[in-house]
Amino acid sequence: MNIVDVIRSLAGFAWLAAIGLGVLAIARASRNQKTGGINSTVVVVVLLAIVLSALGAGLVFLQANQYAVVRSAFQPNGYRSQPLGPGLHWIVPFVESVPNEYTYSVARQTYTMSAVAQEGQTPGDDSIRARTKDGQEVFIDASIIYSIDVARVIQLHINWQNRFEDQVVRPTARNAIRDAVSQYGVEEIVSTKRAELEQLITDSIAAKMTQNDLLLVDFLLRDIHFSDEYAAAVEQKQIAEQQAQQAKLVVEQKKQEAEQARQVAQGQADAAVIAAKGAAEARIIQAEADAKANQLLAQSLTPELLQYQYILKLAPGVQTIFIPSGNQFILPLPGSTAAPIPQ
């Protein structure tokens, strides 16, 4: 309870007291009793009641988020040119007044339209039905956060009074949403163009509300849903796409397995070629080594060495060797000529 309510309450008590004292004075006078003191008290109480009533009628207290339009008999259009802001104000009693319906909250307000019952301002399904550019029917849930333009409170009161929510906010939002949705295909508004759609609706609502003395704070595109038939078609499409994607993955997996098998076979073939090359090169190297060894061995052989090696290879039991006449060696060597034996 603010000070204005206290003063008005005191004024009411004063008037009740004055009436009570007046009745008491009349009753005493009817019984020929003295009423001088009571009459004086009645006059004082009546004067106090008048003063308190005047104060109560002349003081206006507004909360921190309230602005008020002053109805005034002094103005040609019936209103003060400036609204009253938050705080305590004085107006001319009984000539100026601020009825309750002339007081407006400038705090932010939210107007919600939803398919969920009891979620929005209107009971039941209050979502916005709209058609896309490709003829599909969609249902939009949305919220509009707005406030009254403080600088235009009087004009708002003159034009709309307290009807602005039903006659400005609601129809403006629903019309802007339908117009914007009609410019996009259904696939766009649920995927790539949703943010663009939301911005288009926001700009349209903001411009229209500014023309009607209101300020748009934010527009919230809460949900987009479809008819049962279209939702079923979308679900079937998604299932088909998932199946196609799965089949594509299987094909890709088979390709990878085939590629792995090809690479394994290629690796084995390459390993065989490398092994064959290695074996061939090893044989070449071995042959070259053998040839070189034979060459060196051939260069190192002498008749005496051959004779010596031959003797070493004889059986251990051999005691006598017969050499044909005319040969100085046991076996003649290639290219050697036996010296004649003297007669």
Looking at the fold, whether 136 and 220 belong to one and the same domain comes out as yes
Domain-embedded: residue 222: yes
Interstrand relation of 137-148 and 128-131 (parallel, antiparallel or unpaired) = antiparallel
**What is the C-alpha to C-alpha distance for residues 202 and 216, in angstroms, rounded to an integer?**
8
pLDDT of residue 247: 76
User: In this structure, what token pair is assigned to residue 231?
Assistant: 């939702």
Band of pLDDT at residue 36, cut at 50, 70 and 90: low
CB-based contacts of 13, cutoff 8 Å, min separation 6:
none
| Residue 256 maps to a domain | no
User: Distance (Å, rounded) from C-alpha 7 to C-alpha 90?
Assistant: 13
What's the pLDDT band for 343 if we cut at 50, 70, 90? very low
With a pLDDT cut of 90, the percent of the chain lying above it is 34
Instruction: Please indicate, yes or no, if residue 199 is contained in any of the structural domains.
Output: yes
Asked whether residue 56 is assigned to any structural domain, the reply reads yes
- Identify which has the larger pLDDT, 231 or 187: 187
CA atoms within 13 A on the CB side of 208: 19
Residue 218 is part of a domain; what is its CATH number?
3.30.479.30
Say yes or no: 113 and 184 in one domain: yes
Are 121 and 97 contained in the same domain? no
Q: What is the DSSP letter of 85?
A: -
Residue range 101-127, pLDDT digits in tens:
999 999 999 999 998 888 888 888 899
Task: Looking at the structure, tell me whether residues 97 and 8 fall in a common domain.
Answer: yes
Q: Are 297 and 274 in contact (CB under 8 A)?
A: no
- pLDDT for 315: 59
Q: How many domains does the chain have?
A: 2
The range of the structural domain enclosing residue 133 comes to 107-226
Structure tokens at 227: 């008819």
Statement to judge: residues 52 and 159 lie in one domain: no
- Find the range with the poorest average confidence among 35-49, 84-98, 187-201: 35-49
Q: Is the pLDDT reported for residue 229 higher than 60?
A: yes
Question: Closest Cα to residue 166, out of 214, 198, 201, 118?
Answer: 214
Q: Over 90: is that where the pLDDT of 199 sits?
A: yes
| 272 vs 213, higher pLDDT | 213
Domain match, 97 and 152 both: no
Does 332 fall in a domain? Answer: no
Statement to judge: residues 119 and 198 lie in one domain: yes
CA angle 60, 145, 126 (to 5 degrees): 115
Same domain, 85 and 136: no
Whether residue 100 sits in one domain with residue 111: no
Confidence band, pLDDT 50/70/90 cuts, at residue 227: confident
Tell me the average pLDDT across 197-216. 96
Same domain, 63 and 173: no
Pairwise pLDDT comparison (232 vs 173), residue with the higher score: 173
Confidence grade of residue 341 (pLDDT, cut at 50, 70, 90): very low
Question: Residues with Cβ < 8 Å from 160, sequence gap 6 or more?
Answer: 167, 168, 212, 213
pLDDT of 11: 80
39-44-46-49 Cα dihedral, nearest 10 degrees: -160
Asked whether residue 126 is assigned to any structural domain, the reply reads yes
**Pick from 29-38, 56-65, 98-107, 330-339: least confident:** 330-339
118 and 219 assigned to the same domain:
yes
Q: Which of 104, 125, 141 represents a domain boundary (last residue)?
A: 104
Inside any domain, residue 88: yes
The two beta strands, 128-131 and 214-226, are unpaired
Q: What average pLDDT does the chain have?
A: 83
In the numeric block, which tokens belong to residue 315? 């059986």
Q: Per mean pLDDT, which of 51-55, 58-62, 141-145, 250-254 is the most reliable?
A: 141-145
Same domain, 146 and 179: yes
Lowest pLDDT segment from 66-70, 208-212, 335-339: 335-339
Give the end of a domain, one of 63, 78, 104.
Answer: 104
- Choose the final residue of a domain: 104, 134, 157: 104
Mean pLDDT of 203-224: 95
Domain for residue 10, yes or no? Answer: yes
Q: Tell me what percent of the residues of the chain surpass a pLDDT of 70.
A: 83
